[in-house]
């Protein structure tokens, strides 16, 4: 299949696993188009779970759960809690402002 080009439409864990398996077969000829219908805003930042998941699988950086980035930590969230900041309550700009004491406007 080398040289023919293959497009795979992906979404969720199953689509990411399919893309990873197809990469093993077609190599660099693979084009993965990931679902963005589940994109959301969390803590003031844009999150694209399906494209992220596909990227982790294709880069061999998926964690043992099969849906997160290998070796990722929650150190920042834990650190914010230690400072008395509830990361679920404050969007990213407010967290920056609260920690630095400076306005982000």
Count of domains in the chain?
Answer: 2
Q: Are residues 64 and 102 in the same domain?
A: no
Q: Which residues contact 91 (CB under 8 A, 6 or more apart)?
A: 43, 44, 45
Looking at 6-15, 17-26, 92-101, which range is the least confident one? 92-101
Same-domain pairing of 15 and 53: yes
Same domain, 4 and 53: yes
Range of the domain at 89: 73-105
- Read off the pLDDT of each residue in 50-55 and give the average, rounded to a whole number: 94
Residue 32 CA to residue 16 CA, distance in Å, equals 9
Q: Residues 16, 22, 26, 31: is their CA dihedral positive or negative?
A: negative
User: pTM of this prediction?
Assistant: 0.71
* Average pLDDT of the chain, as a whole number: 84
pLDDT digits (tens, 9 = 90+) for 11-48: 999 999 999 999 999 999 999 999 999 998 877 778 89
- 66 and 80, same domain (yes or no): no
Confidence of residue 80 (pLDDT cuts 50, 70, 90): confident
């Amino acid at each position: 299949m080398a040289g023919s080009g293959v497009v795979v439409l992906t979404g969720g864990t199953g689509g990411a696993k399919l893309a990873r398996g197809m990469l093993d077969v077609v190599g660099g000829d693979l084009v993965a188009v990931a679902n963005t219908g589940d994109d959301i805003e969390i803590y003031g930042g844009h999150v694209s779970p399906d494209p992220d998941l596909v990227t982790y699988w294709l880069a061999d950086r998926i964690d043992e759960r099969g849906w997160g980035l290998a070796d990722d930590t929650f150190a920042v969230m834990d650190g914010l809690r230690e400072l008395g900041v509830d990361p679920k309550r404050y969007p990213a700009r407010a967290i920056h402002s609260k920690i630095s004491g400076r306005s982000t406007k």
